[in-house]
Amino acid sequence: MSLKAECGIAFLLYLFGKIGYNNSMKKNKDFLPITKADLERRGWDCVDFLYISGDAYVDHPSFGSAIITRLLESEGYRVGIIAQPDWNNNNSFQVLGKPRLGVLISSGVIDSMVNHYTVNKKIRSDDAYSPGGISGKRPDRAVIVYANKIKEVFKDVPIIIGGIEASLRRFAHYDYWSNSVRRSILLDSRADLLIYGMGEKPIVELARRLASGERINTITDIRGTAYLTNSIDNFSSKDAVLLPSYEEVKESKVKFAKAFKLQYDEQDPIRGKTLIQPHGNRYLVQNPPASPLTTQEMDRVYALPYQRTYHPVYQKDGGVPAIEEVEFSITSHRGCYGGCSFCALTFHQGRMIQKRSQKSILAEAKKLTALENFKGYIHDVGGPTANFRNRACSIQEKAGVCKDKNCLDNGGCKHLKVDHQEYLELLRQLRAIPEVKKVFIRSGIRYDYLMLDKNDDFFVELCAHHVSGQLKVAPEHVVDRVLQKMGKPSRAIYDRFVKKFTEINAQLGKEQYLVPYLLSSHPGSDLKAAIELAEYLRDIHYQPQQVQDFYPTPGTLSTCMFYTELDPRTLQKVYVPKDPKEKAMQRALLQYRRPENYKLVYQALKLAGREDLIGFGAKCLIRPVQNLKQNNRNTKRSNFKKRRIN
């Protein structure tokens, strides 16, 4: 049977969920080829697809590169990987020769600019996704650099870009690092096609069609892809939405906000329409999102023969640090309907939950117990939000997610299904595996959803079995006007959650604590709000060890607010702290007890007219200014101790 026929049959079987790991076309217990010698050992004269990644090669299902390459392998394609090529050396891109069907390019798990720079635009000193954690192994704007290099060395090979960097930059977007509106990454990369989202269905269909002889410039109808065209005459206003052009959104913040809202509204696989954005004399076209994976399809993806670790070539460098966080973690589902404004999931995984079966998850857990360095602890079982195991409501099955509603707003939609029983049953089965000592939940609990559950079984067992002294939660803030901009539940709901957590642990005889994640300088947060948050921390006697400044990354509603100073949902003005001094003050207020933050906290309180918080009373945050010398001495001692420790 020809490769063309095999691929066609495999794709049809895949669509109907009838192809699994046990009967996949190619079983390979080894890593995919990274050198010519690897190709020779397999008897290959070339690869069908070349996958170029900004990350080191880690063959684990937490890495998108592993999923896409293993999936293509299971469909019968020969796949080679070039991880972190030297972008200044053409030979680095040619080590596996010219691929037969195409080159797939990703910057890696994280946007390359986020990977390289802190929120203050300072260069990071390390990179968890590189060998030995050493930074500098990939260029800025890696997708653009890699794609243009491939254009140079393989002039006529189809170039397909994907992953988080390409996915979230598919439209004209605000770029924080250059403080400018950049055009779609498709133009700057000169790629032929962009796959957005998780990508399994689009890549399988694309591979089949390329293998059948179709030219890349004629493949314009695959869901979950975006492309450039010179004409949109064949589109009707009924099926497509015309966005303000790149030139318009670059010149007008109002039009940028309107364009973002239109994009945001159509990222649904059932009711989403085609989106078109003019760029000069060309048009960016985003096809509707790919349909969600069924449970059977998800099971198949996670049963592929991953090695579950980094390639042995990195052993001499000490390995790849990123594996440590996920090595003993299990992905149970994808998607999130939580609606956090600072999260890009709406544009990438989507709001519709896609889950694996319990059988699939238990099988993976048993694989973990067989690993040499497994110590009995499963570090996480979850997804973007651990306790979202099912779709929000049955309406989504046929109508998709609601356009202008959040499932959890105003105490939860009346159609929202609140039920933790299936997830609880899964956790019980995992705990029952003889080799498993403890199963943790580290991917985050949506506490407002938990508080809607009238059955306390999950909450009790969460505290009894799945917390190791501390449970990390993400209130992000406590001031309601800021929480509203963040898309987070009100403080009253968080307070009720804290109270119940304390009560349940008291009943269990456990001393366990909540560790809240907090975000400073988010749009909507002024100095007054930051002080209110500091007062809250004072009242609960808690000082966070780490505080995250809001980071404006592509594809989030919060980034749109940051750039435009408008809420795209209402076009109302939003206060945005952009001045570096004010941002430093807001951050310092959340750690007001630290001596090194005294000056900033003092200045913030004076500026806000809150001198009542400077003094010796129980409600005061800091001592009066006459103690400044003592604070300076304390700061010097603190810095000296840090230097000695380091």
Instruction: Give me the DSSP letters along 522-549.
Output: -TT--HHHHHHHHHHHHHTT---S--EE
pLDDT band (50, 70, 90) for residue 20: very low
- My answer on whether 209 and 336 are in the same domain is no
- My answer on whether 337 and 463 are in the same domain is yes
- My answer on whether 336 and 189 are in the same domain is no
Among residues of the chain, what percentage have pLDDT more than 90? 88
What's the rounded Cα separation, in Å, for the pair 423 and 442? Answer: 15
Mean pLDDT of all residues in 168-196: 98
pLDDT at 13: 34
Angle between helices 3-15 and 200-211 (to 10 degrees): 150
When mean pLDDT is compared across 214-218, 283-287, 614-618, 639-643, the lowest value belongs to 639-643
Residue 266 lies in a domain: no
pLDDT band (50, 70, 90) for residue 441: very high
Residue 437 lies in a domain: yes
pLDDT band (50, 70, 90) for residue 400: very high
pLDDT at 605: 97
What's the rounded Cα separation, in Å, for the pair 202 and 224? Answer: 6
Residue 423 lies in a domain: yes
- My answer on whether 10 and 124 are in the same domain is yes
Task: Name the 3-class secondary structure at 407.
Answer: coil
Q: Do 51 and 33 touch, CB atoms closer than 8 A?
A: no
- Write down the pTM of the prediction: 0.90
What is the number of structural domains in the chain?
Answer: 2
What's the Cα-to-Cα distance from 32 to each of 73, 104, 172, 305, rounded to whole Å?
9, 15, 35, 11
What's the rounded Cα separation, in Å, for the pair 46 and 533? Answer: 59
Name the residue among 161, 135, 133 with its Cα closest to residue 146. Answer: 161
Mean pLDDT of all residues in 573-584: 97
pLDDT at 66: 98
Last residue of a domain, one of 223, 254, 273: 223
Mean pLDDT of all residues in 581-596: 96
Mean pLDDT of all residues in 477-499: 96
- My answer on whether 345 and 218 are in the same domain is no
Name the residue among 257, 313, 222 with its Cα closest to residue 34. Answer: 313
| pLDDT at residue 629 is higher than 90 | no
pLDDT band (50, 70, 90) for residue 623: very high
Greater confidence (643 vs 5) lies with 643
The neighbouring-strand residues paired with 515 are 472
Mean pLDDT of all residues in 390-395: 93
Q: Is 253 exposed, middle or buried (0-12, 13-18, 19+ CB in 10 A)?
A: middle
pLDDT at 635: 58
pLDDT at 291: 95
Last residue of a domain, one of 415, 436, 468: 468
Task: Name the 3-class secondary structure at 235.
Answer: coil
Q: What is the mean pLDDT of the chain?
A: 92
pLDDT at 27: 38
pLDDT band (50, 70, 90) for residue 444: confident
What's the Cα-to-Cα distance from 486 to each of 179, 567, 628, rounded to whole Å?
22, 11, 36
Residue 290 lies in a domain: no
In order, the DSSP letters of 573-636 are E------HHHHHHHHHHTTTTSGGGHHHHHHHHHHTT-GGGBSSSTT-SB--GGGHHHHHHHHH
Residue 41 lies in a domain: yes
Q: Residues 360-382: pLDDT tens digits?
A: 999 999 999 999 999 999 999 99
Mean pLDDT of all residues in 289-313: 97
Q: Residues 59-80: pLDDT tens digits?
A: 999 999 999 999 999 999 999 9
pLDDT at 168: 97
Q: Spell out the residues 6+ positions from residue 630 whose beta carbon is closer than 8 angstroms to its own.
A: none
Q: What is the CATH number of the domain that holds 171?
A: 3.40.50.2300
- My answer on whether 200 and 345 are in the same domain is no
Last residue of a domain, one of 423, 444, 468: 468
Residue 211 lies in a domain: yes
pLDDT band (50, 70, 90) for residue 486: very high
pLDDT at 237: 79
Residue 257 lies in a domain: no
| pLDDT at residue 558 is higher than 90 | yes
Q: Residues 94-151: pLDDT tens digits?
A: 999 999 999 999 999 999 999 999 999 999 999 999 999 999 999 999 999 999 999 9
What's the rounded Cα separation, in Å, for the pair 371 and 392? Answer: 35
- My answer on whether 41 and 175 are in the same domain is yes
Q: Spell out the residues 6+ positions from residue 613 whose beta carbon is closer than 8 angstroms to its own.
A: 531, 535, 605, 619, 620, 621, 622
Up-side HSE of residue 93: CA atoms within 13 Å toward CB?
Answer: 22
pLDDT band (50, 70, 90) for residue 633: low
- My answer on whether 20 and 154 are in the same domain is yes
pLDDT at 601: 97
Residue 74 lies in a domain: yes
pLDDT band (50, 70, 90) for residue 16: very low
| pLDDT at residue 12 is higher than 50 | no
pLDDT at 28: 38
Q: Do 144 and 208 touch, CB atoms closer than 8 A?
A: no
What's the rounded Cα separation, in Å, for the pair 335 and 557? Answer: 17
Domain around 75: 3-223
| pLDDT at residue 627 is higher than 60 | no
Mean pLDDT of all residues in 297-315: 97
Q: What is the CATH number of the domain that holds 381?
A: 3.30.750.210
Task: Name the 3-class secondary structure at 462.
Answer: helix
The neighbouring-strand residues paired with 1 are none
pLDDT at 632: 59
